[in-house]
Each structure stands twice: as structure tokens, then as C-alpha cells.
Amino acid sequence: MFFQRYYADSIAQASFLIGCSVTGEAVVVDPNRDLGQYLATAETEGLRIAAVTETHIHADYVSGSRELAELTGATLYLSKEGGSDWQYAYANEPNVRLIGNGDEVVIGNVRLQAIHTPGHTPEHLSFLVIDGAATNQPIGILSGDFIFAGDVGRPDLLEIAAGFQDTMRKSAITLFKSIERFKTMPDWLTIWPGHGAGSACGKKLGGVPSTTLGYEKIVNFSVRFERESDFVEDVLSGQPEPPKYFARMKTVNRQGPEPTLGRWSIEQTTPCGQIVDVRSIEEFIEGSLLRAVSIPMNASFSKWAGSLLSLDKPIVLVANNSQQAVEAAKALVLIGLENLSGWCLPEPAKKFPLANVNELLGKTLLDVRSGAEREEEAIPGSIHIPLVYLADAKNLPTGPIYVHCASGSRSLVGASYLRSQGVDAVAVQASFEEIQNAMRVAI
């Protein structure tokens, strides 16, 4: 059996290609829109992609399943679970096969057995991986957004991000029951989750590429709960605010996304529309273009870009070189932001205004941390708007707004976004503790 894991850092997402060395066939699970990586592996290994499938209708990136199946002539296996509200709009296409609990995707000697694991979403499937050439026992499970290393898939997204009212508590109860069934499987079962640290699909995901059921029973607090009520209370508390674009992704993936049409290239141009500086925070502070938004290429890039950028205005990227621009463009296309106009160098540039912690007393403070962080402690009198919701902020106070977070990173993103919208904003480049101490001394 051939097994290859791919990881997209910008969306903290894992996808997989599994092949049978005897028949030369392969299946791709949860592909994103960067299809070239799967095609390149298949060519190198002498495999033919005969099947494509996905664990659920994704909310955090545009699925590449439909396009990859069309491109390769593969059969596309989609979940039929979850009821009529959770069926794919393109399920009747000739190359689509609907599967449910207990059904198998067979690739030579390799079998993927579908297990219905609802809770994160109603239609969610996990796949037991069986290498029939060795044994009929599963070697592991592709768990999608069901079980992560150290966490479970959050059950509140349908209500909070997609607007399906009164679903989060019911989904949490369903998730608990799915976990209870899953815990009866062998402890040696390897778990390959669909996301890692940095994903907003949970609140405390680990960064390891795989784990085991036995290990998760020891360290994963969500898996260790014995009482349903305790689990529901815990899993629904402290979840991060979902990025704004999540609501749109669910609809896009259910309807069937348009093909990428080779949109990985990007040409140099002059700055206009939404100017997005993808360089490091340090480089942005030293010199940035007028009204540019700082969204550095790190693990949070897609989260902030998907929350702050709009689809109806062209996007021009500010980068040090074309390679950096292409990397950022690819990350944007992965989440459906295809209104790219080009890229430019950071010239002419001016130093970005920063605030000293000693000048904050009596000023308008804007806290862009998460709600969970805010609940733990806050600066008295400060305004709170989580960064993912900043684009929807209305009736902000006039005069300078001093933007702060926990470390100084999100504050720069928030302040630069507000300045791009004509708001007088200044970034506080300090830790929350430093701000607290300075305010106490000033008082």
C-alpha cells in the first residue's frame, strides 16, 4: 500500500493519496484546490487516480474533489448521510457515487470503509483504511474533522458560521454518541486527522500528523468524558470565533465549486483596490504602502484574509518577490478569494505608526482578541471586536483608535485594516501583560 499525506499550512489542512501497488490505482481523500500535488505524486509513483472522496462538506476551504475527479476521470464518492439538507447539489452527475455507513471505496487491495461519524456536520464520514494484502483489520482511520490530535471537531459551526439555528447543542450530543462508538474500536488504530494546529475547526488541535485511538483516550480531554452533559458543556465553550468566510464555503462546496483554471500565476501590477501586504510584520512596520493591510504569510493568513477581504474589489498583493506573491495567491484561491489583480513591490514605503504602552491612558482602546481571551481578562473601558468580525464593525468612535491584542501581531493586522478603510487607527505593539502593567503604573 502506498500512503502519502499532504499538508497546506495556510489552512492547516491535511489530504491524502492512498494507492495499491498491485493494480496501480489510487484514491485521494479530502483534496484541496492545489491539484498539481496529487497529479505529480501519481505520475512519480506510476499510479492512476481512480477514486476521489471527502469526509464532509468543508467550511474552511474550497474542495478540490469535484475538479480532480473530472480531470482524472475518477469516480467521486460522496456522503449520502445527514438527511436531505446535507446532500450535494451535484450528486446526480454520472461520475458520482453516494456512500454511507459501512460502504467501501475499493482500490485494488486497499479498502476505505465509510463510518458515519456525525456531530461536526450531519453528513460526516470517517474512513477505516484496510490493506487487504496484509490483513482484513484496519491499519488506521482518516478521521476528517471528527477526531483531531488532542481535540474533536467543533459542533457549533453550522449555527454560528452557517446560520442553522438551534443546531449546536443537538450536534454536540450527536458528536458525543459518535465518539462513544468510536472508543470501542482497537486502541492501536492510527488516526490521521484532517486538520492540525491553527485550524478554527476546533479549539486546541495538536500539530502532529497522526496519533492513535489509545493515546487520545489518555490525552484528549474531549474523548475522555463519560457524561454527555459534561461533554456538551465543555465542547461548546471556549471555541474561537469562526472566520467570516466559513459561511460562504459551506454553500460553495455543497453546490460544487468552479474549477481553478490554472489561477496559480500572478502578474506584477500597480497597487489598487484591496492592497494586502503578505510580508512579515517587522518588514511591514519598517515600510508599507499607503492603506495596505498587513496579513503576513503564516498559519493565520487564511483566517484573517478570509475575514477581512471582500470578493467585490480587486486584490493586489505586496510581496518581496514573485515567489512570495504566488504562495499568497495560492492560499487565497484555496479559500475562494479569486479576485486577484496582481502583485507589487513595497515601494514607495512609509513607516507604520505604532503606539507606546505609556501613552494609552485615556485613549480609545480596541481589543481584537477572541471572546474566550476576553472572558479571562480585559482592559477596563476597552472596546471588544474580535479580529475576524472587524470588517463588519459599525459606528466606531472618532479620533485615534489604539488596537491591541495579546502579543502585538493581531493588533497590527487590525490597525492596518482600519487605516485601509480610512479610520484613524494605531497598533499597540506590546503583550497584554505589558499593557496591563503600563495602565496600572499610569493610574
Q: What are phi and psi of 360, to 5 degrees?
A: -90, -20
Q: Are 91 and 128 in contact (CB under 8 A)?
A: no
* pLDDT tens digit sequence for 26-41: 999 999 999 999 999 9
The confidence score (pLDDT) of residue 262 equals 56
pLDDT of 443 > 90? The answer is no
Say if 274-344 and 356-442 have the same CATH topology: yes
Q: Which of 63, 49, 56, 156 lies closest to 115 in space, CA to CA?
A: 56
- Report d(CA 436, CA 61) in Å as an integer: 37
Q: Nearest 5°: CA angle at 155, between 65 and 58?
A: 15
Q: What digits encode the pLDDT tens for the residues 306-349?
A: 999 999 999 999 999 999 999 999 999 999 999 999 999 998 88
Q: Which residues contact 154 (CB under 8 A, 6 or more apart)?
A: 120, 201, 202, 203, 235, 239
C-alpha distances (whole Å) from 91 to each of 78, 84, 88, 174, 254 are 8, 12, 5, 25, 10
Q: What is the DSSP letter of 121?
A: S
Supply the pLDDT for residue 160.
Answer: 86
211 vs 209: CA distance, rounded Å: 7
Query: Residue 375 and residue 371: Cα distance in Å, rounded?
Result: 6
Longest dimension (CA), the chain: 74
pLDDT at site 158: 84
CB atoms within 10 A of CB 418: 22
Mean pLDDT of 217-227: 93
- Topology (CATH level 3) of domain 2-255: Metallo-beta-lactamase; Chain A (3.60.15)
Spell out the residues 6+ positions from residue 375 whose beta carbon is closer than 8 angstroms to its own. none
The edge-to-edge listing of strands for the beta sheet with 293-294 is: 293-294, 274-277, 315-318, 340-344
- Close Cβ partners of 211 (under 8 Å, ≥ 6 residues apart): 149, 150, 190, 191, 193
- Which grid coordinates belong to 347? 515601494
Residues 64-106: pLDDT tens digits?
999 999 999 999 999 999 988 889 999 999 999 999 999 999 9
Q: Which residue has the cell 460562504?
A: 248
| Residue 441's pLDDT band (cuts 50, 70, 90) | low
CA distances from 398 to 23, 31, 355 (A): 68, 46, 17
pLDDT tens digits, 129-151: 999 999 999 999 999 999 999 99
Give 361-419 pLDDT, tens digit per residue. Answer: 889 999 999 999 999 999 999 999 999 999 999 989 988 999 999 999 999 999 999 99
Alpha-carbon gap, residue 65 to 97, rounded angstroms:
13
**In whole numbers, what is the pLDDT of the chain averaged over residues?**
94
Q: Is domain 356-442 classified as CATH 3.40.50.150?
A: no
Give 340 or 442, the one with higher predicted confidence.
340
Helix (H, G, I), strand (E, B), or coil: what is residue 8?
strand
Among the listed residues 244, 228, 247, the one whose alpha carbon sits nearest the alpha carbon of residue 236: 228
**pLDDT at site 263:** 62
pLDDT > 70: percent of the chain: 98
Give the torsion sign (CA, 189, 192, 197, 199): negative
Q: Do 132 and 109 meet the contact criterion of CB atoms below 8 Å apart? A: yes
Average pLDDT over residues 229-236: 96
What pLDDT score was predicted for residue 41?
Answer: 99
> 441 phi and psi, to 5 degrees?
-65, -40
Instruction: Spell out the domain ranges in the chain.
Output: 2-255, 274-344, 356-442
Whole-structure pTM value: 0.93
CATH 3.20.20.330 describes domain 274-344: no
pLDDT at position 264 over 80: no
